[in-house]
Amino acid sequence: MPRFYFDANATAPPLPSVVEVVAKSLVEGWANPTSIHREGQGARRLLEEARAVIAESLGVPPAEIVFCSSATEALHLLIWGLRISLGNKPAAVFPGEHSACLNPLRDWTTVRWLPDGLEEAATIVQMAANNETGIIYPMPAAANAVRLKDCAQAWGKIPVNLSDCDAAVFSGHKMGGPRGAAVLWMRPTLPWVPLMEGPQERRRRGGTEDLPAILGLAEAVRFLPERVERNGALAPLRDRLEAEILSWSSDYEAIGRDQPRLPNTSALLLRGHTGEAVQISLDLAGFAVSTGSACHSGATEPSHAVTTLGYSHDEARSVIRVSLLPDAREEEVDALLQALKRILKR
């Protein structure tokens, strides 16, 4: 049976040239970039070249980039590292943030949910785009607060702007790069202390860098402008998918349809059905979709990204997320529509 993959927001496959670069580096670039011998220095040169490529693409100085293994790690390092100086002052946080961002904020003394708490906030946390609904959010204006932005979903789907924030995180495996490489960017003025001790990454993140993954990430970054363009061109296909599904029942809704959204993402609220049951039926029919953040799979809690928008728990449990890969084709979407129509009619 053919398989159809509509879960790009969970993970996208690495680009073919990324696979090549990673494989080559595993064979040839395995040396430790911290070693001072010739092999190590060769690895160091490649590491710094990759850093320069990524920094240029983000429009920041290379020295401000810290390589991490995942956006989850980058968010924990960032937030925990700011806690000593900022943790006992109020933070204003977007309530639909990913758990990778909310969890390290647990120990902060006061967390207010945006748009509340802006006036007195010393820290503002606002994701660029939500993983489940695709809704794109502006960074709230704040005169004196440190502003943190999670760009894990936005990267490669829409242009990313760092002029309105002081730190941001990026994940490799959602934009054609490999797993195991992510970026933490911070302005050097941030009152941040490192937590993972070690000489690597200018003492900001200890641990031998995963050079093959980082080189793969730099390779994927070379294709970013093209990827953003291709993702942008998906909006009419996504809109057609939604228009068709909405025509089947007035109980169905596309969440955030009237707001700026990632062009590849559709959070479909199918009242009268359980998202999980629809997802399983689609999987059996050959289609991979999700019922929310992949990181929450297995949990029975309804998605907070959806309830935050004012939907009930039952409604949140009726959502499936379809997220298209940049090369999604009309025929694939038609096949999904046919299968979904059959399943919803049962």
Tell me the residue type at 93: V
The C-alpha atoms of residue 346 and residue 330 are separated, in whole angstroms, by: 25
Pick the stretch among 79-87, 212-220, 261-269, 290-298 that binds ligand PLP (CB under 6 A).
Answer: 290-298
* Pick 255 or 340: Cβ nearer ligand PLP: 255
Q: Does 264 bind ligand PLP (CB under 6 A)?
A: no
Q: Is 295 one of the catalytic residues?
A: yes
For 124, the enclosing helix (H) or strand (E) is strand 123-125
| Non-local CB neighbours of 184 within 8 Å, separated by 6+ positions | 65, 66, 67, 68, 74, 77, 78, 167, 168, 169, 205
Q: Does 193 bind ligand PLP (CB under 6 A)?
A: no
| Non-local CB neighbours of 232 within 8 Å, separated by 6+ positions | 158, 263
Taking CB under 6 A as the criterion, the residue among 25, 46, 65, 70 binding ligand PLP is 70
Taking CB under 6 A as the criterion, the residue among 153, 264, 266, 291 binding ligand PLP is 153
C-beta of 131: minimal distance to ligand PLP in Å?
Answer: 3
Pick the stretch among 58-66, 145-153, 187-195, 318-326 that binds ligand PLP (CB under 6 A).
Answer: 145-153
Question: By rule CB under 6 A, what count of residues binds ligand PLP?
Answer: 15
Helix (H, G, I), strand (E, B) or coil at 13: coil
Q: Does 262 bind ligand PLP (CB under 6 A)?
A: no
Q: Does 131 bind ligand PLP (CB under 6 A)?
A: yes
DSSP state string for 99-139: HHHHGGGTT-S-EEETTTTTTT-SEEE--SB-TTT-BB-PP
Q: Does 319 bind ligand PLP (CB under 6 A)?
A: no
Task: Quote the tokens at residue 198.
Answer: 């070690």
Site map 76..115 versus ligand PLP, x via CB under 6 A: ----------------------x-x---------------
Task: Quote the tokens at residue 122.
Answer: 């010393």
| Non-local CB neighbours of 192 within 8 Å, separated by 6+ positions | 78, 81, 82, 85, 167, 186
Q: Does 125 bind ligand PLP (CB under 6 A)?
A: no
Q: Does 266 bind ligand PLP (CB under 6 A)?
A: no
Q: Does 133 bind ligand PLP (CB under 6 A)?
A: no
Which one-letter DSSP state was computed for residue 177? S
Strand partners, 268: 254, 320
* Pick 63 or 295: Cβ nearer ligand PLP: 295
* 8 Å CB contact between 214 and 67: yes
Q: Does 165 bind ligand PLP (CB under 6 A)?
A: no
* 8 Å CB contact between 238 and 290: no
CB atoms within 10 A of CB 257: 15
Taking CB under 6 A as the criterion, the residue among 105, 127, 158, 245 binding ligand PLP is 127
The C-alpha atoms of residue 203 and residue 72 are separated, in whole angstroms, by: 19
C-beta of 127: minimal distance to ligand PLP in Å?
Answer: 5
Q: Does 322 bind ligand PLP (CB under 6 A)?
A: no
* Pick 184 or 270: Cβ nearer ligand PLP: 184
Interacting residues toward ligand PLP by CB under 6 A: 70-72, 98, 100, 127, 131, 150, 152-153, 171, 182, 293-295
